[in-house]
Amino acid sequence: MKLTSNNRRSTAEQKVIAELIEGSDVIRRTALQLAPAIVVVAELLTNALRAGGKILICGNGGSAADAQHFAAELVGRFRRDRPGWSAIALTVDASALTSLGNDYGFEQIFARQVQALGRPGDILVALSTSGRSKNVLAAVEVANALQMRTVGLTGEGASPLGTMVSHHLPIPSGNTTYIQQGHMAVIHVLCELIEDSLTS
């Protein structure tokens, strides 16, 4: 395969460069705009885990995958060997999801699990790039009623989720791809901060 020079890049190469640079810029702006809020959320999660609470996490599609990734890092490990912490992705139990969806409707698939599993002192982390996913909003409503603390990761701009949660982390982009990249970057930073606090 013949390599092209910098001034003769293919259209595909130009696309790759533009996409990766834009994604990196969104993460840079996330760092500059949200660093204080991320530290506060990390402290919230750390204190809940230290007190024996658990972290429930929900989202749809790519956000469901992010929820599972976050839970896996907490139950397993991020960078350090240490005991596992209580974290549950509400997106993984096919029997529960399909029975709840069939009996109560798709909007209740997370809310019913929060009702069953959540307690005061626990935290719900809700992921939605739009901030408008009805099943995520329903889960937050139940969590608030249970006196749980709630964290919302969304994209930029006003959204119902942003107004419902106790802590809001809006990625500064309106592009779903870049929002999801920002969510994963934030999740990894949260994992590192939690490990720093609980293993020091």
Domain regions of the chain by residue span: 34-195
Share the mean pLDDT of the chain: 96
Query: CATH classification of 34-195 is 3.40.50.10490, yes or no?
Result: yes
For the chain, helix, strand, coil in percent to 5 are: 60, 10, 30
Spatial neighbors of 28 by CB under 8 A, at least 6 apart, are none
Rounded distance between C-alpha atoms, residue 75 and residue 117, angstroms: 16
Model pTM score: 0.93
Express each pLDDT in 52-103 by its tens digit.
Answer: 999 999 999 999 999 999 999 999 999 999 999 999 999 999 999 999 999 9
The edge-to-edge listing of strands for the beta sheet with 123-127 is 87-89, 55-58, 123-127, 149-154, 167-170
Q: How many CA atoms lie within 13 A of 122 on its CB side?
A: 23
For the chain, give the number of residues.
Answer: 200
